[in-house]
Structure 1
Amino acid sequence: MTDFPPIAFNRAPPAPDFPWPNGAKSALFVGFDVDGETAWIGNRPENGDRLVTVSHGGWDGRVGIARILDLLEEVKVKATFFIPGWTALAHRLQCEAIVAAGHEIGHHGYLHRRPERSAFDAARAEIDRGFEALDRALGVRPVGYRAPSGENFPELLAYLADSGIVYSSSFRDDFRPYRHLLHDDRPGPIEIPVNYAFDDWNFGMTSRVDPRPIFGRDAVLSLWIDEFEATHAWGGCTTMVLHPQVSGRPMRWHLLRDFLRHVLAKGDVWIATGAEIAAHYRACEAA
């Protein structure tokens, strides 16, 4: 039987208290995971022979990315798009449009393979290959990282820092940004924690190989508004994990637009990219 010492897994100190820019009471980080087909083949290569199953992810390139860019232009919001390297190569024109619209590009692995501590070399190769593909397809070197399938481990976190990653947006243990403490006691990347309630996959995606309930507009919009309002009252950062193959579909596109309009109407929310939030954190940290 495996035993664990009674020590917190996350060694980072508590999130510091710092003000948001321009007198804002809270922040909103709109992050998209542009998985495309990698969501269906990265951890399940057998799906490569299931064209209908993989077509869920094909929505990104055919429809979803363009529709999401239209929405962000309509509401005048800049977002961060975490793109696996494979997606950037397979849907280059659509991903080039993201860059052209002025949005941030983040690292999301290469084939969306879940990092495993027992296979560190493979996890490291996934990072390197992702950097190379994003540079080749889009000419960018990301400073932000979101873990494919939402996993990480100490050695990989250190490798990300050594590779120039300034911030991560993967962990689910706080409502304000903090800085990681690496396993060798060096300061690590800034973490912009995820709020799992804002992962649209949980409510709007199902398939034959991964069946789950689908939730309608009223259930999701009320949940998002309630969770946002509570986070706003606490002065935190509402971090969204959205997917064009979910929120780029008709009803959910309108759902996301209505939520963003609700936030914009507050007038005291700083809506920023991950890079902007990380830069603000560093400035406050230095001061």
Structure 2
Amino acid sequence: MTYDLSPRPLNPAPSAPHFDWPHGKKSALFIGFDVDAETAWIGNNHANVDRMVTTSLGGYDARVGIAKILDLMDVLNLKATFFIPGWTAEAHTAACEPIVRAGHEIAHHGYLHKCPDRNKLDEAREEIDRGLAALKSRLGVTPVGYRAPSGENFPELLAYLSERGLRYSSSFRDDIRPYRHKLADGRPGPVEIPVNYAFDDWNFGITSRLDGRPLFGRDTILPLWREEFAGTHEWGGVSTLVLHPQVSGRPMRWRILHDFLAEIAARDDVWIATGAEILAHYEASAAPA
């Protein structure tokens, strides 16, 4: 592949339009969980399928993490969006079904959590199609939202998301307010609900036996989340959380997340919404595409 390195905005989407959040709220909170299970460990390194201790980190989702996160959402009376790879839906159907029954949103997160690669277009499209088929057959869901596995995307994939009925993405990190993508041919693409990397629990709460990354506790995470939320709120943005049951479903991290969400839920100036709700509000309120 020849790479175009000419100077230009690499994301051609127009600026995020101004619109008010519902009910006079000053900012929004989007609670998103990536239910990767073992795909976090085998999707981009297939050899790990034979390393049972390594994959047991992901196995925690179905054994403990998903149920504990659902308990947390129930305790706080909150609704979230669960981005589920198709492989997870097939391997752990019984653990995922309660997410649907509890009324949370189910969104697309690839099939095997492979990082999308522009040099492998057929594989990238297959990840979308197999994920859609699995979510429909196992959970009875046709999702409207998508979060890129391993957090990557490219123009042809954005266009394919639109073709397959995926109307919003929550992957990009270049804004604090929703905006609509512009496809390579000029057509409007999915709405982006941008991610804030500071709210990704994977950065602070997980390592592996062979990984020297440190773990961080309450005194690091809560001040960081509070400060980042306070700034985003002041600027009228959306605080998009990238959480994982195999991280925040662990005992200490469950308590940290509980306390952070309880603080925000107690406020009367924050709209806590699913991705589908934010999409619907954007389409009703923002400037036409």
How would you bin the TM-score normalised by the shorter chain? Answer: over 0.9
Q: Where does structure 1 lack aligned partners over 5 or more consecutive residues?
A: none
| 1:43 aligns to 2:44 (yes or no) | yes
Number of residues of Structure 1 aligned to a counterpart in Structure 2:
287
| 1:98 aligns to 2:99 (yes or no) | yes
- The SS at the match of 1:117 is coil
Corresponding residue for residue 79 of structure 2: 78
Q: Where does structure 2 lack aligned partners over 5 or more consecutive residues?
A: none
For residues 46 and 196 of structure 2, what CA distance do their matches in structure 1 show?
29
Q: TM-score, normalised by structure 1?
A: 0.98
For residues 70 and 22 of structure 1, what CA distance do their matches in structure 2 show?
28
Corresponding residue for residue 140 of structure 1: 141
Q: 1:99 to 1:2 in 2, by over 3 A?
A: closer
1:222-261: per-residue Cα shift (whole Å, max 9, x none)? Answer: 1000100110001100000000000000000000000001
- The SS at the match of 1:149 is helix
| Pairing 1:198-237 to 2, within 5 Å after superposition | 198-237=199-238
- The SS at the match of 1:8 is coil
Corresponding residue for residue 62 of structure 1: 63
| Pairing 1:46-195 to 2, within 5 Å after superposition | 46-195=47-196
Displacement after TM superposition at 1:146 (Å): 0.1
1:10-29: per-residue Cα shift (whole Å, max 9, x none)? Answer: 00000011000001000000
Preserved CA contact (<8 Å) 2:17 2:287: no
For residues 250 and 286 of structure 1, what CA distance do their matches in structure 2 show?
44
Displacement after TM superposition at 1:218 (Å): 1.1
After superposing on structure 2, the runs of 4+ consecutive aligned residues of structure 1 that deviate more than 2 Å are 208-211
1:164-214: per-residue Cα shift (whole Å, max 9, x none)? Answer: 011000000000000000001000000000000000000000003443111
For residues 212 and 238 of structure 2, what CA distance do their matches in structure 1 show?
31
Q: 1:168 to 1:3 in 2, by over 3 A?
A: closer
Corresponding residue for residue 269 of structure 1: 270
Preserved CA contact (<8 Å) 2:84 2:109: yes
For residues 49 and 254 of structure 1, what CA distance do their matches in structure 2 show?
33
For residues 232 and 287 of structure 2, what CA distance do their matches in structure 1 show?
25
Displacement after TM superposition at 1:265 (Å): 2.0
Q: 1:61 to 1:212 in 2, by over 3 A?
A: same
Partner AA of 2:277 in structure 1: E
Displacement after TM superposition at 1:94 (Å): 1.1
Corresponding residue for residue 259 of structure 2: 258
Q: TM-score, normalised by structure 2?
A: 0.98
Displacement after TM superposition at 1:267 (Å): 1.3
For residues 196 and 90 of structure 2, what CA distance do their matches in structure 1 show?
29
- The SS at the match of 1:12 is coil
Displacement after TM superposition at 1:264 (Å): 1.3
Corresponding residue for residue 196 of structure 1: 197
Q: Give the percent of matched residue pairs that are identical in Structure 1 and Structure 2.
A: 68
Preserved CA contact (<8 Å) 2:66 2:95: yes
For residues 3 and 286 of structure 1, what CA distance do their matches in structure 2 show?
31
- The SS at the match of 1:241 is strand
For residues 148 and 4 of structure 2, what CA distance do their matches in structure 1 show?
26
Preserved CA contact (<8 Å) 2:195 2:242: yes
- The SS at the match of 2:119 is helix
For residues 106 and 40 of structure 1, what CA distance do their matches in structure 2 show?
20
RMSD: 1.1
For residues 114 and 211 of structure 2, what CA distance do their matches in structure 1 show?
17
Displacement after TM superposition at 1:2 (Å): 5.7
For residues 267 and 65 of structure 1, what CA distance do their matches in structure 2 show?
28
1:95-139: per-residue Cα shift (whole Å, max 9, x none)? Answer: 100000000000000000000000000000010000000111101
For residues 96 and 156 of structure 2, what CA distance do their matches in structure 1 show?
30
